[in-house]
Amino acid sequence: MPLSASIGGISDNRGMNALPSTPAPTVTDTVTTLRADLESAEYTVDRIRELVGEVANDALHREQRLPALRAVESVMSPLAVLVRFFVVGLPISADERDLAFPRTSAQALIEMGVAAQESEEGAVTYRALVNVRPVVLTDTGGEVTWWLASDLGETATGRALHPDHVLGAGGASFTLAQVTPRTNVGRVLDIGTGCGVQALAATRHARQVMATDISPRAVAFARFNAALNDSDVEIREGSFFEPVHGETFDLVVSNPPFVITPRTGTDLALYEYRDGGAAGDRVVAQMVTDVPQYLAAGGCAVMLGNWEVTAGSRWDEGPRAWIEQARALHGDLDAWVIQREFLDPAHYAETWLRDGGMTQDRDRELWESAYRAWLDDFASRTVEGVGFGIIVIRRPVQARAAWTRCEEITGDVSQPLGPTIAATLAGVDVLKEMTDHELLEQRLRTAADVTEERYITPGVGEPSVIIIRQGGGLRRAVQADTVLAGFVSACDGELTAGQIMSAICALMDLPVDDTLAATLPTIRGLITDGILTFTA
């Protein structure tokens, strides 16, 4: 049954002292003048950092506004006013408004839902209703800057978030944007678009971009951001895949509402941007099983997700079961799951309580009640931890044996990972069709970022451990024996793989057939991972 999440039973958050949500912004003809004002003020990430300084800029990322306020409170420039208005959340005077928005009238700002006019002791002031921030994304296509409108956060309001809060571009947004392959494609679908950042990223390499979201406010923000950045995105309101039923896409991206939130026993608010309305990890499970029917031949889905790990089970049991269910429904599929983080139930609960603005100092009784509900919910399913990571699902162009990889990579990686994801999938295609005999006829080259580490016990001639290490991409470290290490060292594109292996076997007096049988599977893995590459 396709996933059709509806956000039910949402608390009004009054216990958390949240502000009511404001109307979402509206696209009008004057959005172009707003864009021009932001451009002329040089309202960019770099210029804001220069204005407020590194210390204040870092504090803003920790949701602390005072250092930035001190840096701009007495500065009269268009950029400083925009920082006070949008970033710090202070009201500005009519003169300041004229300085920051010389092309956009006060009435235009009000009609777009960007600002509200107020009166304080007879003086007219303007208060920001939305947070418009510059965002820089670096991916395969290079660096791009956008302005993204979202709801005002805690930095500006000092309050907990409202359940229908529309989030700006955060860490998860950047992660998904950077791990998504950016090869040129026809149609892209962004599920749960939020403020629209993934859809904007897709416009750089797709002929048509479509986005969906169940939240009317998110749809309005995404449409506003597409217009503000002069980008062509079709945005449809509806739950998950419902608005695109029967259509297929070359790329599907999603940062879905995957957070595992207790459904009973608490007044905890459910946030539309993160809570999918289902118990446990069912939202992500259903995404994995539903998405293949929306993929064209060769199409790929890239998403973020959480999965529960129960007592006595491996971390990948849940994702593997979802993948097998998807294959049973839709045929052979390639699947790749990378666990990037693992949190115990207590740490997980604390993380998402803080994300929603719930803290002990604001309401200790409510905080402890919600915390207990989270722990009770996990205990009811014997959950010992929650994994977070990346899920890639691909429909092969031609029917063949499916490829599955589930791995845990928690260390540093080299972003953007999009090229690594694309190259790995391409390598899988090539190697699936290549026999061992054909592989031995190939001339391979060791990638430029590969190094070798040898650990030698003093007084012992041979190394006890040899590590082949990848500098870029997923920064893999592969433990090698002397045969594999010698092979990788000799791959300079001159000799074939077969010639190198024959020479190594002769030098070390090893049986050729047995050595090939033991080593070729690992060589295939090194090619898939980009440690070895085919020469032209």
Q: Domain residue spans in the chain? A: 24-129, 134-390, 434-534
Q: What is the pLDDT of residue 14?
A: 32
Query: Does residue 90 register a pLDDT over 80?
Result: yes
- CA 474 from chain center: how many Å? 16
Query: Does residue 288 register a pLDDT over 60?
Result: yes
The structure's pTM equals 0.91
- How far is 425 from 430, CA to CA, in rounded Å? 9
Interval 195-247: pLDDT, tens: 999 999 999 999 999 999 999 999 999 999 999 999 999 999 999 999 999 99
Query: Does residue 133 register a pLDDT over 50?
Result: yes
Q: Which of 125-134, 275-284, 504-513 has the lowest mean pLDDT?
A: 275-284
Q: What is the pLDDT of residue 17?
A: 42
- How far is 182 from 316, CA to CA, in rounded Å? 27
Q: Are strands 142-150 and 131-139 parallel, antiparallel or unpaired?
A: antiparallel
Q: Compute the average pLDDT of residues 322-339.
A: 97
Interval 91-120: pLDDT, tens: 999 999 999 999 999 999 999 999 999 987
Residue 266: pLDDT band by 50, 70, 90 thresholds?
low
More confident residue, 431 or 12: 431
Q: What is the pLDDT of residue 235?
A: 97
Indicate the average pLDDT of the chain. 91
Omega prior to 23 cis, within 30 of 0? no
Q: What is the pLDDT of residue 11?
A: 30
* Order of all β-strands in the sheet with 206-213: 234-237, 206-213, 185-191, 249-254, 295-310, 383-394, 334-343, 404-408
Residue 274: pLDDT band by 50, 70, 90 thresholds?
confident
- How far is 15 from 5, CA to CA, in rounded Å? 25
Q: What is the pLDDT of residue 267?
A: 64
Interval 338-377: pLDDT, tens: 999 999 999 999 998 888 777 788 788 888 888 999 999 9
Query: What share of the chain in percent tops pLDDT 70?
Result: 94
Is the CATH number of domain 134-390 3.40.50.150? yes
Q: What is the pLDDT of residue 9?
A: 27
Interval 14-71: pLDDT, tens: 333 444 567 899 999 999 999 999 999 999 999 999 999 999 999 988 888 899 999 9
According to DSSP H, which parts of 41-136 are helical? Answer: 45-52, 54-61, 66-72, 78-82, 94-100, 106-111
